Amino acid sequence: MNLLFVADPLELFKIYKDTTFSMMREAQRRGHRIAACEPEHLAWRSGDLVRAQVREIRLTGESDPWFLETGTPIRALNEFDAVVMRKDPPFDSEFFYATHLLEHAEREGARVFNKPAALRDHPEKLAIMEFAQFTTPTLVTRDAAAVRAFHELHGDVILKPLDGMGGMGIFRVKADGLNLGSIIETLNHEGATSIMVQKFLPQITAGDKRVLLIGGKPVPYSLARIPQGSEVRGNLAAGGKGVAQPLSARDREIAQAIGPVLAQRGLLLVGLDVIGDSLTEINVTSPTCFQEITEQTGFDVPAMFIDALEAALA
């Protein structure tokens, strides 16, 4: 196969943990050809196809340099067997526009994973609304008074922006309400921006579990991202410690309920965030943790992903 990865700049990859790198490595091991581009390199001109300035690469098996460029052509996206959309959040206007370009490329015959329309329809914080039976009490609002009432009801809450990643902009407010007003102002920009508020889950001390769904099926291990020191966030980007562990019965219940639904909509790869028994987020843009789970358990997550990609193209 000839694969195109739409991702962040290759020079920024931390290959010792990067999930997109692990996908590329497994694809190359199987003899597939690899190219990469960034969303900014996508373009369309009337009367023509969606094209991109791509970097055809070969992985070296070394850490520096970890890839060699073998060509930098302008290619139509429908020339590739698969286009794998792996751009990290935030889900801003440019990400949104990229999904429209990718969707038009689909109309021209390109095969895009995850499906662009499904990326737009499942914003990572808000997608949990469809599966509220599995979530902790949650509020989405612009209204500061509603946030205060939610805090008064639940006593200990987490506030977060809807477009963050890696734990960015997450605040905990305990029963004393210390700095609640200032935090609301910071996150909702005086009522201009919607935010999410969730009841605090003390089980975070055991980790914020990333449960991966590939082709609608759960990887048998999660990565529990455990907060360190006085930090409330378990995200690896915020210093959390990643510990792989078998899925619990509740993890499997959630995964088996959600996985087939999202796979049917064109989401080949999904990352569920589960704290204790509660679903807190559904990640669809660029779910991670492949390498950490593989290294700690021996279960080959990249191989499962490329198996699913090959099956989807068969």
**Catalytic residue check, 225:** yes
Q: Are 107 and 46 in contact (CB under 8 A)?
A: no
Q: Are 68 and 58 in contact (CB under 8 A)?
A: yes
- Catalytic, out of 38, 208, 281, 292: 281
- Catalytic, out of 55, 125, 199, 209: 125
What single-letter amino acid sits at 24? M
Strand partners, 209: 224, 274
- Catalytic, out of 55, 160, 199, 209: 160
- Catalytic, out of 114, 188, 235, 283: 283
CA distances from 307 to 34, 41, 119, 129, 214 (A): 16, 28, 21, 30, 10
pLDDT value of position 236:
72
- Catalytic, out of 225, 235, 251, 292: 225
54: closest CA among 10, 21, 99? Answer: 10
217: closest CA among 276, 166, 249, 259? Answer: 259
**Catalytic residue check, 251:** no
How far is it, in rounded angstroms, from Cα 67 to Cα 87? 19
Domain extents in the chain? 2-117, 137-200, 203-313
pLDDT value of position 239:
76
**Catalytic residue check, 188:** no
43: closest CA among 108, 98, 116, 107? Answer: 98
Strand partners, 208: 225, 275
Please state the φ and ψ torsions of residue 168, each to the nearest 5 degrees: -65, 130
Q: Are 94 and 40 in contact (CB under 8 A)?
A: yes
pLDDT value of position 230:
67
Each residue's pLDDT, cut to its tens digit, for the chain (314 residues) gives 999 999 999 999 999 999 999 999 999 999 999 999 999 999 999 999 999 999 999 999 999 999 999 999 999 999 999 999 999 988 889 999 999 999 999 999 999 999 999 999 999 899 999 999 999 999 999 999 999 999 999 999 999 999 877 778 899 999 999 999 999 999 999 899 999 999 999 999 999 999 999 999 999 999 999 988 767 766 677 678 999 999 999 999 999 999 999 999 999 999 999 999 999 999 999 999 999 999 999 999 999 999 999 999 99
**Catalytic residue check, 160:** yes
- Catalytic, out of 55, 209, 210, 251: 210
* Cβ-proximal residues to 3 (8 Å cutoff; 6+ apart), any chain: 24, 27, 32, 33, 34, 35, 80, 81, 82, 83, 84
- Catalytic, out of 233, 235, 251, 292: 233
From the options 3.40.605.10, 3.30.1490.20, 3.90.550.10, 3.40.1800.10, give the CATH code of 137-200: 3.30.1490.20
pLDDT value of position 234:
65
Radius of gyration of the chain (CA): 20
How far is it, in rounded angstroms, from Cα 2 to Cα 25? 14
**Catalytic residue check, 45:** no
Q: Is domain 2-117 annotated with CATH 3.40.50.20? A: yes
For 203-313, CATH number? 3.30.470.20
pLDDT value of position 287:
96
- Establish how many alpha carbons lie within 13 A of residue 174's alpha carbon, considering only the half-sphere containing its beta carbon: 3
**Catalytic residue check, 241:** no
Q: Are 170 and 232 in contact (CB under 8 A)?
A: yes
* Cβ-proximal residues to 167 (8 Å cutoff; 6+ apart), any chain: 233, 234, 235, 237, 238, 240
Across 9-77, where does the E strand assignment appear? 33-37, 42-43, 51-53, 55-59, 67-71, 74-76
